[in-house]
């Protein structure tokens, strides 16, 4: 027997189900002679209680129930059948039936004690804590075979009611039990030990390792113990080990694809990893168990995350009808009520939770995490403090407080809280990563302007602060006027490592974004962050600063989609080319009905169903802002923000400001899209007949000539003709494509193909308009701007060259020649402020010939009429090179007061 079970521990996942079924068949054969051939009929209807156990273990609940209900009371396995029947009925939400069966079995005069623990579990699942307590106590007193699990459940009930010392004393006894009787414990008893040790881990984190070992042991004893498998997966996830959690839960779901707890646990893992699919798993869990409380609680939490507060409250209230005392459900309901603006309902829910457990720090942690996820960081910190006040050893509360203080820019206090959290729980990877990041802050400089403080790595600070200071102050003036809000000092952190930026944002590496705004604290990638890829760092700063004002002006109540849409809209208005633009893929998504309706825009950001949906949602939200401004002016945007600040829902705000309901808004936006992109939509829709495989370049060209209105026909032909080395014909195809969809000029666009073709032929005149189109459509195209600058210079278009170089700086500010060229052109056109800025940038780049760079900067200052700075700087040049003749002459000129 042991060899069969141990085999499963070492079995590859592909063979896991077979090995598990084989082991269970062996168990069944030992338990009942007639089951000797069970392995050959493992998927047939149960004929014995061990067969029914196999059916339950593999998720065939209806078959198991049908058999178990027929087991005669005279059958020696009747009590086992009743316990299994009650548990299975409860698992699929047939609570009335489960309680009826468990009570009937518990009343049996001889064997009733064996059903008491299961009865207690059913009663607890229905929120009947006093009755559950009584059933567990009776099971322990009667020395039932499941009394160890009953003892654990009594301790868990004490813990849930705030009787911490009593619960911990009970948990502690399980360690003695393990040390003295480990070899004789059943799988279920070993799981009881594991859970007790896990709970003790809150006071001694080293015990988490022992809990993991005990869970592994419980699984090795009984591979069908799904509770142990799911508990192990959840423990891995709680300690941020998503990879092990996935492997464990994958194993569990391969054994039993219909286990509600496993489905919900895996949904939580997907959310943790930022992967799609959680909603479908939750739907499957509810299909199996319609009133499964953890599933409904998670659905409600996800509704809060997308700011559907009323829907969240309804969902979690349904869960509470099943289990009125569920602490997690009460936490989510309180969160929904609070952020939904229903203070009275919030206070009632809070009182309800604290009546069960007056020391429920987890309740306030749930509130803190919930409001934090909808960007109410100050409120989140307050709730975390309340959690600590009622439970000073709640390390999660201290970590949540620390993270939110960091988001608020209160770095020293945030660090102190995180250090306390880490001392209590050194396995919290998020806290550890953040503390490691804080240790690197000594490598950063802090500089200030009137309205912003910049934290930039020392090597980059002299250069980037030149541009960031200007950007931040210009944005402040513009946004303060538009949004009628004056934020306090803004903190802007710039990270050279994208992994560091990711840790600062979510505690773990791997975040896909380039910047984040917590309100008055911003963080984003440095342009030197190689793993971030090329991007326009200036537009990123502008985008995040816009959030500072839209969040602040609404007390952080603006919906995520509207705040993101306004930030992209502000990018578009700040400079030509900034912000996301339209693409064929975006319009295809619209044509295929894959863009979310405006009424559900938050889903596009928070619950994407395909990889590009988040990016599409940013642009879509900005288009909604365009439509609102077209019809109601910019004042309509700020009027909506005012309604959000007043606590209105989107439905209420839209009705009051725009005079329509959400259904009408969805329809209006659809009309706007069809009008705004009428030409490109028609060109994309003109597909023609299906293309046979293996078409030659000539055949594709002929098809493109037939379908002159088809954008794809032109692009397919043009691309094939380039490969066939027929550039002249390819150019004709790309020119048609560009005319059909001129708004799309980014990577892979007709404009990009034409620019390459013309440049390869040395035709700068024809390349020029294509390069301009690229620069106006792709904010991150460094090479296009540099080519544009060179062609403009050769055409003596100094203004065009300056504009192109200026755009290039905001993509890659590190090449010295870029700054040198721009400084020279600025000086030649009398643009002294720009010339000074670029000469300052060259000095900040720490050139080899520092004396020459300082001399040129002094010349720029002198040309701008700032003799004081010119004198100070030329003296610095002479300190570097005392015999520098040009610097000596300039100093003499300045001292004598001669005009530059």
Write out pLDDT tens, residues 389-443: 999 999 999 999 999 999 999 999 999 999 999 999 998 999 999 999 999 999 9
For residues 855-881, average pLDDT: 97
Q: What is the pLDDT of residue 28?
A: 39
Task: Please answer whether residues 422 and 450 qualify as being in contact, where contact means their C-beta atoms are separated by less than 8 angstroms.
Answer: no
Give every CB contact of residue 3 below 8 A, 6+ residues apart in sequence: none
Read off the pLDDT of residues 54-87 as tens digits, 9 standing for 90 and up. 999 999 999 999 999 999 999 999 999 999 999 9
Among residues 159, 178, 180, 179, which one has the least CA distance to residue 168?
Answer: 159
**Would you call 330 helix, strand, or coil by DSSP?**
helix
Q: Are 55 and 64 in contact (CB under 8 A)?
A: yes
Look at residues 615, 601, 545 and name the one whose alpha carbon lies nearest to residue 574: 545
Scored b (16 or more CB within 10 A) or e, 815-829 reads: eeebbbbbbebbbee
Beta bridge partners of 479: none
The Cα 397–Cα 403 span in angstroms is 10
Least confident of 29-33, 150-154, 454-458, 615-619: 29-33
The three-class DSSP label of residue 444 is: strand
Residue 29 pLDDT class (50, 70, 90 cuts): very low
What value does the mean pLDDT take over residues 462-473? 97
* CA atoms of 717 and 714, how far apart (whole Å): 5
Q: Dump pLDDT digits (tens) for 776-801.
A: 999 999 999 999 999 999 999 999 99
What tokens does 735 get? 């020119």
What per-residue confidence (pLDDT) applies to 896?
Answer: 87
- Spatial strand order in the sheet of 490-495: 444-448, 452-457, 490-495, 521-525, 515-517
Give the DSSP letter of residue 302: H
What is the rounded distance in angstroms from the CA atom of residue 145 to the CA atom of residue 445? 66
Residues 6+ positions from 184 with CB-CB distance below 8 Å:
none
Q: What is the mean pLDDT of residues 635-649?
A: 97
Residue appearing with tokens 């518990």: 106
463-466 LR contacts (CB < 8 Å, sep 24+): 463/813, 463/814, 463/841, 463/844, 463/845, 464/494, 464/526, 464/527, 464/813, 466/837, 466/840, 466/841, 466/844
Separation CA 303–CA 294 (nearest Å): 14
pLDDT of residue 8: 31
How high does pLDDT run on average in the chain? 93
Rg, Å, the chain Cα set: 34
- 545 phi-psi bin (left φ>0, alpha ψ -120 to 50, beta other): alpha
Looking at residue 534, its pLDDT comes to 83
At residue 280, the pLDDT reads 96
Distances (CA, A) of 607 to 299, 547, 589, 613: 12, 21, 16, 9
CB 323 within 8 A of CB 329: yes
Q: Is 629 helix (H, G, I), strand (E, B) or coil?
A: helix
Quick: pLDDT tens for 737-763.
999 999 999 989 999 999 999 999 999
Lowest mean pLDDT, pick from 13-17, 377-381, 568-572, 654-658: 13-17
Considering only CA atoms, which of 283, 212, 206 is closest in space to residue 241?
A: 212
pLDDT band at 40 (very low <50, low <70, confident <90, very high): very low
Question: What does the chain come to in residues?
Answer: 900
The pTM of this model reads 0.90
Q: How confident is the model at residue 636 (pLDDT cuts 50, 70, 90)?
A: very high
Q: Which residues contact 271 (CB under 8 A, 6 or more apart)?
A: 278, 302
Paired strand residues for 490: 452
Mean pLDDT of 98-123: 97
| Cα–Cα distance for residue pair 437/229, rounded to 1 Å | 34
CB of 114 closer than 8 Å to CB of 140: no
Residue 617, pLDDT above cutoff 80 = yes
**Span 289-300, average pLDDT:** 98
Which residue would you say has higher pLDDT here, 17 or 254? 254
DSSP string over 631-680: HH-HHHHHHHHHHHHTT--HHHHHHHHHSS-HHHHHHHHHHHHHHHTHHH
């Amino acid at each position: 027997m042991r060899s069969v079970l141990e085999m499963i521990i070492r079995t590859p996942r592909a063979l896991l189900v077979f090995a598990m079924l084989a082991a269970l068949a062996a168990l069944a054969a030992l338990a009942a002679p007639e089951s000797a051939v069970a392995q050959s009929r493992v998927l047939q209807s149960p004929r014995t209680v061990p067969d029914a156990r196999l059916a339950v273990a593999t998720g065939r609940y209806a078959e198991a129930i049908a058999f178990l209900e027929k087991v005669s009371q005279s059958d020696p396995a009747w009590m086992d059948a009743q316990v299994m029947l009650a548990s299975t009925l409860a698992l699929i939400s047939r609570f009335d039936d489960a309680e009826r069966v468990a009570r009937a079995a518990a009343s049996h005069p001889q064997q009733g004690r064996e059903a008491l623990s299961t009865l207690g579990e059913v009663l607890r699942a229905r929120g009947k804590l006093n009755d559950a307590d009584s059933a567990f106590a009776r099971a322990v007193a009667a020395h039932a075979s499941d009394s160890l699990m009953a003892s654990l459940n009594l301790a868990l009930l004490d813990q849930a009611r705030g009787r911490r010392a009593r619960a911990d004393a009970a948990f502690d006894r399980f360690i003695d039990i393990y040390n003295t009787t480990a070899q004789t414990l059943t799988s279920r008893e070993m799981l009881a030990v594991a859970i007790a040790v896990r709970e003790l881990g809150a006071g001694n984190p080293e015990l988490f390792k022992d809990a993991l070992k005990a869970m592994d042991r419980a699984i090795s004893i009984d591979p069908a113990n799904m509770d142990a498998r799911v508990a192990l997966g959840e423990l891995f996830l709680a300690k941020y080990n998503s990879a092990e959690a996935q492997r464990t839960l994958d194993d569990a779901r391969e054994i039993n694809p219909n286990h509600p707890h496993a489905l919900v646990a895996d949904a939580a893992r997907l959310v943790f990893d930022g992967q799609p699919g959680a909603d479908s798993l939750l739907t499957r869990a509810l299909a199996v168990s319609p009133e499964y409380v953890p599933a409904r609680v998670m659905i409600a939490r996800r509704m809060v995350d997308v700011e559907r507060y009323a829907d969240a409250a309804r969902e979690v209230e349904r869960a509470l009808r099943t289990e009125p005392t569920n602490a997690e459900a009460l936490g989510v309901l309180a969160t929904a009520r609070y952020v939904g603006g229903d203070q009275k309902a919030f206070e009632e829910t809070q009182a309800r939770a604290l009546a069960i457990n007056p020391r429920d720090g987890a309740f306030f942690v749930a509130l803190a995490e919930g409001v934090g996820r909808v960007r109410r960081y100050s409120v989140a910190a307050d709730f975390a403090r309340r959690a600590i006040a009622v439970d000073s050893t709640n390390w999660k509360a201290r970590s949540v407080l620390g993270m939110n203080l960091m988001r608020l820019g209160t770095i020293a206090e945030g660090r102190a809280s995180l250090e306390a959290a880490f001392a209590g729980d050194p396995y919290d990877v998020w806290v550890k990563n953040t503390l490691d990041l804080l240790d690197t802050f000594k490598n950063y400089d802090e500089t200030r302007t009137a309205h912003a403080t910049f934290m930039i790595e020392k090597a980059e600070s002299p250069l980037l602060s030149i541009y960031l200071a200007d950007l931040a102050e210009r944005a402040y003036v513009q946004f303060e006027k538009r949004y009628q809000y004056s934020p306090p000092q803004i903190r802007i952190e710039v990270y050279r490592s994208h992994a560091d930026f990711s840790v600062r944002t979510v505690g773990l590496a791997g975040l896909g974004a380039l910047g984040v705004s917590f309100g008055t604290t911003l963080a984003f990638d440095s342009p030197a962050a190689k793993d971030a890829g090329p991007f326009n760092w200036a537009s990123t700063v502008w985008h995040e600063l816009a959030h500072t004002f839209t969040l602040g002006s609404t007390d952080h109540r603006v919906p995520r989609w509207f705040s993101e849409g306004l930030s992209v809209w502000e990018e578009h208005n700040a400079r030509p080319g900034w912000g996301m633009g339209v693409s064929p893929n975006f319009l295809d998504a619209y044509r295929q009905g894959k863009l979310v309706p405006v009424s559900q825009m938050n889903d596009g950001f928070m619950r994407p169903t395909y990889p590009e949906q988040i990016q599409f949602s940013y642009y879509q939200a900005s288009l909604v802002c365009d439509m609102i401004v077209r019809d109601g002016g910019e004042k309509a945007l700020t009027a909506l923000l005012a309604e959000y600040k007043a606590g209105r829902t989107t439905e209420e705000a839209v009705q009051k400001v725009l005079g329509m309901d959400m259904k009408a808004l969805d329809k209006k936006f659809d009309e706007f899209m069809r009008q705004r992109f009428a030409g490109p939509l028609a060109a994309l829709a003109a597909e023609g007949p299906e293309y046979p495989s293996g078409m030659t370049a000539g055949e594709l060209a002929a098809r493109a000539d037939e379908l002159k209105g088809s954008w794809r026909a032109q692009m397919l032909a043009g691309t094939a003709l380039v490969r066939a080395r027929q550039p002249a014909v390819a150019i004709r195809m790309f020119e048609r494509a560009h005319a059909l969809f001129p708004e799309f000029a980014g990577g892979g666009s007709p404009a990009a193909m034409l620019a390459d073709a013309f440049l390869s032929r040395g035709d700068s005149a024809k390349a020029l308009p294509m390069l301009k189109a690229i620069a106006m459509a792709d904010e991150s195209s460094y090479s296009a701007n540099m080519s544009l600058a060179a062609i403009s210079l050769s055409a003596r278009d100094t203004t065009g060259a300056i504009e192109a170089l200026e755009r290039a700086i905001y993509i890659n500010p590190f090449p010295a020649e870029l700054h040198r060229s721009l400084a020279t052109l600025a000086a030649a056109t009398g643009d002294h402020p720009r010339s000074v800025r670029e000469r300052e940038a060259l000095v900040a780049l720490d050139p080899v010939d520092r004396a020459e760079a300082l001399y040129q900067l002094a010349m720029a200052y002198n040309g701008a009429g700032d003799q004081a700075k010119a004198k100070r700087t030329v003296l610095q040049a002479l300190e570097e090179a005392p015999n520098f003749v040009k610097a000596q002459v300039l100093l003499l000129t300045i001292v004598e007061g001669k005009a530059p």
